Amino acid sequence: MTATLIWILVVLVLIGIYLSWTAGRLDRLHARIDAARAALDAQLLRRASVAQELATSGVLDPAASIVLYEAAHAARQAVEEQREVAESELSQALRAVFAEREQMEAVKEAPGGEEAALELAEAVRRVPMARRFHNDAVRAARALRRHRKVRWFRLAGHAPFPMAFEMDDEPPAALIDRAA
């Protein structure tokens, strides 16, 4: 009788340790998502700021400046529910403005244009990487949260279900060639 109670107690302690370890892992994944989201927000803000700065510099033709400025401004001012759409529209505006290599050459020839083009190219190149890191962390957390043990024992607590950040982040070819 005593041996049976000891074995039951040992099994319960091992189950408790395993559940605690799983909850800790889930907590670390949620912290990783928060850090990745902060990094993604920083890269998106940097891209929008550099695009807005380039649009107001007078280096681009007036039509391209207006298109780029409005898209960058909308991306910076977007509320959370509209952020993915606004960032996708900024990507589309960047592709429209820098669709032709001549536009990039015109930017490079202007005073300060070489630095501005390089800074924009770097910002555009980093956004897909930051988004990929964020979405990978979300995917890992979602996979763990789908396990029965996590749902049955409510190991996620009150943390919201993680959502991926889906946007069009394809950079213009002229800017990618510049960053390489």
- Asked whether the predicted pLDDT for residue 15 surpasses 90, the reply is yes
> Which tens digit of pLDDT belongs to each residue from 68-116?
999 999 999 999 999 999 999 999 999 999 988 888 888 888 888 888 8
Q: Taking 80 as the threshold, does the pLDDT of residue 178 lie above it? A: no
Buried b / exposed e across 87-106, counting CB within 10 Å, b at 16+? Answer: bbbbbebbbebbeeeebbeb
pLDDT above 90: residue 133: yes
Q: Inter-axis angle of helices 101-109 and 113-145, to 10 degrees? A: 130
The vertex-85 CA angle with 158 and 61, nearest 5°, equals: 145
Query: Quick one: average pLDDT of 134-149?
Result: 96
Q: Residue 177: what pLDDT?
A: 62
Over residues 19-75, the pLDDT tens digits come to: 999 999 999 999 999 999 999 999 999 999 999 999 998 888 899 999 999 999 999
DSSP 171: P
How much is the pLDDT for 116?
86
